[in-house]
Amino acid sequence: MAEGMVSFEADIQTLTQMRSRVIWPNSTGPWIEGGLEDLMVHFTYAGWMAYSLGCAMSMILSSRDERLGQAVSEMMTRMIASFGAVQMAEIRLNREAIDELRKDRIDP
């Protein structure tokens, strides 16, 4: 993980089956499994952690169902905007591209 960055990762299967984790400098949190409500609470925690540490925050969402992933992505983007985010960018990758990115250890 890049120094000065908090990352929120989520793997979305269905609206009731999701898992997420928070990665911050020098530490990685456990995967938390649950539904959409759990994802929102965990994301709020990640935002608070980034704010407390004075770090930027990245969000990585993955889903095999493109429409579901896009719907959750749009919801999370609205939530980020309501938090008062200064800058946002979106990059879409398929599962193979994400795996290749991680394997090559290239930071997005």
pLDDT tens readout for residues 34-78:
999 999 999 888 888 888 888 888 888 888 888 888 888 888 888
pLDDT range class, residue 31, cuts 50, 70, 90 = very high
- Sequence spans of domains, the chain: 5-103
Helix (H, G, I), strand (E, B) or coil at 56: strand
Q: Judge whether 85 and 58 are in contact, CB under 8 Å.
A: no
> Is pLDDT of 103 > 50?
yes
Per the structure block, which two tokens stand in for 24?
């911050």
DSSP 86: S
Tell me what pLDDT residue 108 has: 45
Domain 5-103 has CATH 3.30.420: yes
Q: Judge whether 56 and 67 are in contact, CB under 8 Å.
A: no
